[in-house]
Amino acid sequence: MGKQWYTISVYSENHVGLLNRISGIFLKRHINIESLNVSKSEIEGVSKFTIVVFTTEDWTRKIVGQIEKQIEVIKAYYHTDDETIYQESALFKIASHLLFDERQIQNIIKESNAQIVTVNREFFALAKTGRRHEIDEMHDALLPYGIMQFVRSGRIAVTKATMPISEILQEFQEN
């Protein structure tokens, strides 16, 4: 079975030890977490982990099963890239003088649909949201001029299919 990118979405209680428990499941099977994002979800009081892995479907399914059996996990899903709408964000910090010395930088900003977050005498910061390859392209374009700092976030994703978490929670309550 071939490897591909999977986005694992974990709906859970907000519990301090859970990240450790979840990451341990990946560790045991030597699967690298390519990106991880934890945030609140659409349901009040429910957290959402978005984890990206590059592996086979069989292993993803087994991992999701083992995540789901953790006490604080309400439900875990996995999806392929085709089944999700996903984005990453990146911040670039660049020396301000380059904006005037290197005219090409302005074109890069325009073409990549990046936003200027702040400008001061020493540096300016650019924010870019998009697919991984778009951020990589922008990074590569800016690299020759010098990037003072660069950071990219984990993937965030929503699925095309519905995730009936509220119903599942309701079911838990009734059991």
Q: In terms of DSSP H, where are the helices of 85-131? A: 97-101, 103-111
Could you say whether residue 120 binds other proteins (CB under 8 A)?
no
Cβ pair 114, 126 in contact under 8 A: yes
Q: 60-119: which residues touch other proteins (CB under 8 A)?
A: 61-62, 65-66, 68-69, 71-74
Q: How far apart are CA 131 and CA 88, in angstroms?
A: 6
- The count of residues in the chain is 175
Could you say whether residue 21 binds other proteins (CB under 8 A)?
yes
Name the segment binding other proteins (CB under 8 A); options: 34-42, 109-117, 127-135, 164-172.
Answer: 164-172
Cβ pair 29, 59 in contact under 8 A: yes
Q: 1-20: which residues touch other proteins (CB under 8 A)?
A: 12-13, 17, 20
Cβ pair 127, 94 in contact under 8 A: no
Could you say whether residue 151 binds other proteins (CB under 8 A)?
no
As measured in angstroms, the least distance from the Cβ of 69 to other proteins is 5
Name the segment binding other proteins (CB under 8 A); options: 21-29, 109-117, 124-132, 151-159.
Answer: 21-29
As measured in angstroms, the least distance from the Cβ of 35 to other proteins is 22
Scored b (16 or more CB within 10 A) or e, 25-50 reads bbeeeebebbbbbbeebeeeebbbbb
User: Which residues here bind other proteins, judged by CB under 8 A?
Assistant: 12-13, 17, 20-21, 24, 28, 61-62, 65-66, 68-69, 71-74, 169, 171-173, 175
